[in-house]
């Protein structure tokens, strides 16, 4: 095993990337709750979940590669904390830089 800065989705969503409507980026244990909810709602084909394991320095290259895999998808940052807490304020400007401000986060 080795450390991965970003862990991409390896589920059914990867089989048809153009059919993915949303990429959920997250970090930490919230991943398991989001994954369970995606399965419960039968959204495994239309939602990709990508874990960012290293937030600093931010993995611009890997996040960009993930967003380019799913050209029709909206980007979402998911965290347990309120919007004004947690990593949102740190991640949002970096995500927008990564995607050249082409999509909202």
Placement of tokens 């239309």 in the chain: 46
Characterize the bridge pairing of strands 74-77 and 47-52: unpaired
Kindly provide the residue ranges of all beta strands, DSSP E only, lying in the chain, ordered along the sequence. 6-7, 22-26, 47-52, 74-77
Say if pTM beats, i.e. exceeds, 0.85. Answer: yes
Q: Which domains does the chain possess?
A: 6-98 (3.40.50.11610)
- Give the model's pLDDT for residue 100: 79
- Give the pLDDT confidence of 4-25 residue by residue, as tens digits: 999 999 999 999 999 999 999 9
Tell me the pLDDT tens digit for each residue of 46-58: 999 999 999 999 9
Question: What's the pLDDT band for 103 if we cut at 50, 70, 90?
Answer: low
What is the four-CA torsion angle of 14, 20, 22, 26, rounded to 10 degrees? 0
């Amino acid at each position: 095993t080795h450390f991965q800065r970003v862990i991409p989705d390896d589920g059914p969503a990867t089989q048809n990337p153009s059919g993915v409507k949303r990429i959920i980026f997250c970090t930490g244990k919230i991943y398991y709750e989001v994954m369970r909810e995606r399965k419960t709602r039968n959204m495994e084909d239309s939602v990709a979940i990508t874990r960012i394991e290293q937030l600093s320095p931010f993995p611009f290259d890997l996040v960009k590669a993930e967003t380019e895999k799913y050209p029709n998808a909206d980007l979402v940052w998911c965290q347990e904390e309120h919007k004004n807490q947690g990593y949102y304020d740190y991640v949002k400007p970096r995500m927008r830089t990564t995607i050249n401000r082409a999509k909202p986060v």
